Amino acid sequence: MKVVLKNVNVLNPHQKVNEKNVTILIENGKFKNIGNLTEAEIKDAKVFDLDGKYIVPGFFDMHVHLREPGREDEETVITGCNSAANGGFTGIACMPNTDPAIDSAEVVTLIKKQSANHLVDVYPIGAATVGRKGEVLSPMAELKDAGVVGFSDDGVAIKTASILKRSLEYAKMFDLPIIEHCEDESLAGGAMNESINSTLLGLPPIPTVAEDLIVMRDILIAEYADAKVHIAHISSKKSVEMVRDAKKKGIKVTAEVAPHHFTLTDDAVKTYDPNVKMNPPLRTKADVDEIIKGLKDGTIDCIASDHAPHSIEEKEMEFEFAPNGIIGLETQIGLAFTELYHKKVLSLEQMIEKLSINPRKILNLPVPEIKEGEIANLTILDIDAVWTVDKKKFKSKSSNTPFDKRLLTGKAIGVINKEKIFIDGSFSKI
């Protein structure tokens, strides 16, 4: 099957490619011809006239919570992949806080099997400890053989310094990162950021120092073990500063930020809307400003959604008792382009680095190339599309988002991978 993408701008900073207004032929899922098409080649092809839109290496979200196994009423592997494709992603990494946790080869295999025929590539993150309980190391070698691309106890930090040190040492043997949810257990358990707002609203607080303490511990131990630690959903000013300093010293630390942490502050909690409750919580303007600075100067390597589906019955409770988390796969690109690209925080090249290239590098995955002979793994991007979020149009099984009805600029309008295309709301084989 042949597909022609007409009048596209090709941008892949990884290959240092930036070409304007080319036409591309994809045949049987591979780039057949870029730029020099004959009439005979175009014949019988399905042609998409993309009128100046960009094609970039497929976006990758390295922090997604699928709820399979365990809570398939909230998200399955397939609905999560549909949501990812609709949001512009061709690859995701899924976190291990399923039930059971991803702490055995069987669960890894189940997830890989469920996603095998989907356009979206799914890479499970293995639990660092059995049941994510922080007591006994998971069978990391077995998990690696089954296909995990990193280890984490996400939802919580790895419980003790000693087990963190050992998990870093094992992960290093496989050249994989430990991905940390940084939160000191003894300071955890609140419902929102500790600030004047938590006092005024009467909600139990989570102080930024809960995050900072674990970021500090993790950087120290990563330095000691000379191993890779990745800070998930960074949210506090001090944590960004510590990662910046550690990188300067050559410590192998990387970091991601979720769109809500550069878009909103804890002022949003004044609505008591459970859809602004997540962990880490929304912080203050000073934290957001430092995150923006960290994105700009490379301290923060990538943007990841922390897509966390929850059922309506459980999420729509009093703020204090609602579960943490919001879905993010279908709003991430729009929020990132609106807040970072259109506000001139990041260049288009930096956007592609943070949404496609760096997450794959952190997980040791190959970055897709836009080159004749290569598999077509790409996102079609309309950087100027103005659109309004409508959660009714989401492909996710859940709809817990605070961004419904928000006006955004920038949208992924299609994806291609594994001989499939998703465009205009549906999948077809190419």
Which residues are catalytically annotated?
A: 306
Q: Report the partner that residue 325 touches, choosing among ligand DOR, Zn ion, none (CB closer than 5 to 8 A by kind).
A: ligand DOR
Rg (CA), the chain: 21
Q: Where are the alpha helices (DSSP H) in 32-101?
A: 39-42, 77-87
Interactions with ligand DOR, residue window 24-83 (CB under 6 A): 65
**CA dihedral sign of residues 254, 182, 239, 353:** positive
Name which of 308 and 336 has its Cβ closer to ligand DOR: 308
Q: Output the residue with the shortest Cβ distance to ligand DOR.
A: 325
Segments of 35-171 assigned E as strands:
46-49, 54-57, 59-64, 89-94, 121-124, 126-127, 151-152
Name which of 31 and 151 has its Cβ closer to ligand DOR: 151
- Whole-number minimum distance, CB 220 to Zn ion, in Å? 20
State how far the Cα of 152 lies from the Cα of 105, in Å rounded to an integer: 15
Q: Which two tokens stand for residue 10?
A: 């090709």
- Whole-number minimum distance, CB 301 to Zn ion, in Å? 17
Q: Which of 23, 97, 350, 417 binds ligand DOR (CB under 6 A)?
A: 97
Q: Report the partner that residue 278 touches, choosing among Zn ion, ligand DOR, none (CB closer than 5 to 8 A by kind).
A: ligand DOR
Name which of 93 and 383 has its Cβ closer to ligand DOR: 93
Question: Would you give the binding string for ligand DOR spanning residues 168-207, x where CB under 6 A is met?
Answer: -------------x--------------------------
Q: Which of 289, 234, 110 is nearest to 242 (CA)?
A: 234
Q: Which of 8, 94, 242, 308 binds ligand DOR (CB under 6 A)?
A: 308
State how far the Cα of 197 lies from the Cα of 270, in Å rounded to an integer: 8
Q: Report the partner that residue 299 touches, choosing among Zn ion, ligand DOR, none (CB closer than 5 to 8 A by kind).
A: none
Can you tell me whether residue 268 is helix, strand or coil? Answer: helix
Q: Which of 79, 104, 279, 332 binds ligand DOR (CB under 6 A)?
A: 279
Q: Which of 11, 171, 203, 278 binds ligand DOR (CB under 6 A)?
A: 278
Residues forming the site for Zn ion (CB under 5 A): 154, 181
**CA dihedral sign of residues 188, 212, 352, 124:** negative
Instruction: Please confirm whether the linkage preceding 57 is cis (ω < 30° from 0).
Output: no
Q: Report the partner that residue 308 touches, choosing among Zn ion, ligand DOR, none (CB closer than 5 to 8 A by kind).
A: ligand DOR
| Distance linking the first and last C-alpha atoms of the chain | 5
Using CB under 6 A as the criterion, which residues of the chain lie in contact with ligand DOR when the complex forms? 65, 97, 154-155, 181, 278-279, 308, 324-325
